[in-house]
Structure formats: structure tokens, C-alpha cells
Amino acid sequence: MKFKIGTRASLLALWQAEHVQRRLEERGHQVELVRITTTGDKVLDRRLESIGGKGAFLKEIEEAMLAGQVDLAVHSLKDVPTALPRGLTLVAILERADPRDALLANSGKALESLAPGSRVGTSSLRRSSQIKSLRPDLHVDDLRGNVDTRIRRLRERHYDAIVLAMAGLERLGRTSEVTQALDPRAFTPAVGQGAIALECREDDGATREVAALLNHEASAQAIAAERALLAALEGGCNVPLGAHATREGGALHLRAFVARPDGSALLRAEGRGDDPEGLGRQVAGELIERGARQLVRA
């Protein structure tokens, strides 16, 4: 079969699309990459939540797919909202890479050892709320752009430290620049962080059948629990929350948090179970009982 894959043009997005391209070509398929510039790529001077949230990195690609211009989209799963446009579906989750966040600091110091008043760059409310909760004496400033841009801004001393996803750094061969990999039990990753998702049209049976062969079931189950929690809390990129599921002792273990943006209130909950979506709703329910709704509305 011949496939057209829609992808953003950043180095990381191209790495992910080319990875899927190789996987499909190994199975005898022909694959063409179609580079698409999204709203999230074009608008860099405003916070993500003001331009449609993380879905701003998907909109134009999904429109091209619905128009039949591309057959398949490759996304960083943490950018994919739980509610997809009508006519589209997630057909596969690839094996998850390292889900942790990584601190890069000019001083070479860990988060807990940064000097008071240090400037930490991130565009993520999830990351900034956890930093402020752990280190209220630090200044957290907005930082957008691709991985290269963010690291360059750090090295130019616009920031003392920045936080990025470990998976992206691994894929780009830049883990040697990491000062500290942050423990996910204390610094919770984004829902789906480290995973690549494949999206296609619901009515495209041929593409669905081929793409589904790349699905990694263990990763898909863990992420299903995380996304069920996200859906139950009705959270988006304007809500500081995170969730991380792992399989421990034969069962899924889900840890999650919801916070105020300034880190002044942070709720955590966790649970174990065999049903991913049921587990996600269960842990979300515990957070709601403890006041998560009020934090989300705030």
C-alpha cells in the first residue's frame, strides 16, 4: 500500500514520522511524508492555551486528513486531546519511551539545589505548578519553541534552567545535556508523555488495519488509564495536571495530580487495577472528592 503521513516539520516531529515510515516500509509499504505547518508552530508569542491548547499542534494536520490529503498522522501523544474531531480515531500507540521530565541547568545543579531566585523556563502549566510547589523560591518564566530553540535560549543565559521531555531529548540524541531526570513519583509527567500516537480516518479501513499492527499493547493500556483520568477531570493544557501509569506486580498503578497554577495547592492520588479506563475514572474520582473540581475551575 501507499501512505501519506502528515507531520509537523520540527526535528522531533520528523524523527517520529520517519520512525513510523521505516516501520511501515519494513512491512513492504510505500510511504511519503507531507510536512504541514500548524497554528502551534506559527504562533510563538502567546501561551498555548490562548491559541487552542496543545490541539494547536494538530489542527491543520487533522484537517488535511479529513480532506483526504494525507492518510495517517503521527503525533506526540501528550499533545492529543481526549476528544478527537468527528471522523478521526487513534489507531495505534507505539511503545512508550522514557516518560520522565528532564532538567537542564547551566549550573549543573539538580532542581532541589538550584540557587534561590533562579529562572526556570517552561511553557507547561503542569511543569510550572510542580516546580513552584517544590521550590516556591524559584522564578518560572514562559518558554516556547522547539527543542533546539529552548536549549539555545538556556545556553545564552536567558534562563538558569529549563525542563524538557526526556523522550524528545533521547530521540534527538541530546541526553548528554540533561542535568537531572526528574523522578515521576515526585514530578508527574504529562498524560501520554513519551508515547507516539497514530491517527487516521475512521472510515479508512485499509490504513487502520496496517497501522494497528504497530500498536504496543502494554503502552496502550497504561496510556488508556491516563487519558481516562484526563477525560474524567475535563482537563486540558490550561489545567495543571499530570498522570503516569505503570504495570507493577501484574496490575496497573496510576499516579496523578491536579494543582493550582501557582503551586499553592496540589492534590495527589493513586490507585491500582486491571481495567485501564476504570482505573483512570477511579483515581479521577478520588481527586474530585478532595477538591480537584475547584482547582480545575480556578
Active site residues: 79
What values do phi and psi take at 192, rounded to 5? 80, 5
Confirm if 39 and 56 have CB atoms less than 8 A apart.
yes
Q: What is the CA radius of gyration of the chain?
A: 19
- Among residues 188, 186, 235, 195, the alpha carbon closest in space to that of 214 is found at 195
Q: What is the residue type of 207?
A: T
CA 60 – CA 98 distance, rounded (Å): 28
CA 173 – CA 154 distance, rounded (Å): 18
CA 280 – CA 98 distance, rounded (Å): 21
Query: Which distant-in-sequence residues (6+ apart) come within 8 Å of 149 by Cβ?
Result: none
CA 56 – CA 42 distance, rounded (Å): 10
Q: What is the residue type of 159?
A: Y
**88: its cell numbers:** 478521526
Beta pairing class for 88-93 and 2-7: unpaired
- Among residues 256, 78, 105, 81, the alpha carbon closest in space to that of 184 is found at 256
Query: Which DSSP symbol is given to 70?
Result: -
- Among residues 237, 231, 37, the alpha carbon closest in space to that of 123 is found at 237
Indicate the SS3 state at residue 42: helix
Q: Is 87 left (phi over 0), alpha (psi -120 to 50) or beta?
A: left
